């Protein structure tokens, strides 16, 4: 025959086990919070930056009708398809070309001094206005310049 279980004694033992286990967990977690070593350290980190952040496309605008001996103002805009801002320091007239129907036009008669712009074109900009205005001059020479009559002149620009 089975011996009757003393419920009160059983519950007291179970309660004591639970309380004891909880106290042990608290004691261990308190100890774990302070169980570490102190030390000193140093280190470095490095990565290579981009070798280029893109290029800018320059545009020039000037009035039609330039004649020998005259000058006209030239304004500038820029397109920056890149993902970072780009700085335009000086705008330089690299070369001048005439349309195919005016191949004999002496494009060396068209000049423009370098233009200081010092403008930042924002990333993704299209048609961003640049500071600085150039002056395109069509020289009046002692040579017949009729071959330039009606020519469409294209300015090829560079910047730094």
Q: Which residues contact 138 (CB under 8 A, 6 or more apart)?
A: 66, 67, 68, 69, 70, 71, 109, 110, 148
Query: Which pLDDT belongs to residue 50?
Result: 66
pLDDT digits (tens, 9 = 90+) for 58-96: 999 999 999 999 999 999 999 999 999 999 999 999 999
Pick from 27, 25, 81: which is nearest to 58 by CA?
81
* CATH assignment, 57-159: 2.60.40
Query: Which pLDDT belongs to residue 42?
Result: 81
What's this model's pTM, rounded to 2 decimal places? 0.70
Burial of 137 (0-12, 13-18, 19+ CB in 10 A): middle
Give domain limits for the chain.
7-35, 57-159
CA 120 to CA 115: how far, in whole Å?
A: 15
Query: Which pLDDT belongs to residue 48?
Result: 73
Query: Which pLDDT belongs to residue 53?
Result: 75
Query: Which pLDDT belongs to residue 101?
Result: 97
Which residue carries 């705008």 as its tokens?
Answer: 91
Number of Cβ within 10 Å of residue 120's Cβ equals: 16
Query: Which pLDDT belongs to residue 17?
Result: 59
**Low-confidence residues of the chain, pLDDT below 70?**
1-35, 50-51
Q: Which residues contact 124 (CB under 8 A, 6 or more apart)?
A: 80, 81, 82, 83
Query: Which pLDDT belongs to residue 14?
Result: 59
């Amino acid at each position: 025959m089975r011996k009757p279980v003393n419920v009160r004694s059983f519950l007291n033992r179970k309660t004591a086990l639970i309380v004891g286990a909880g106290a042990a967990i608290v004691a261990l977690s308190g100890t774990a919070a302070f169980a570490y070593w102190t030390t000193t350290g140093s280190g470095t980190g490095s990565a290579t930056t981009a070798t280029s952040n893109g290029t800018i496309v320059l545009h020039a605008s000037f009035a039609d009708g330039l004649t020998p001996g005259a000058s006209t103002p030239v304004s500038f805009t820029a397109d920056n398809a890149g993902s970072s801002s780009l700085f335009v320091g000086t705008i330089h007239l690299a070369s001048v070309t005439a349309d195919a129907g005016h191949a004999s036009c002496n494009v060396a008669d068209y000049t423009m001094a370098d233009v200081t712009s010092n403008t930042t074109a924002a990333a993704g900009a299209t048609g961003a206005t640049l500071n600085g205005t150039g002056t395109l001059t069509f020289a009046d020479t002692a040579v017949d310049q009729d071959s330039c009559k009606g020519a469409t002149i294209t300015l090829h620009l560079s910047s730094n």
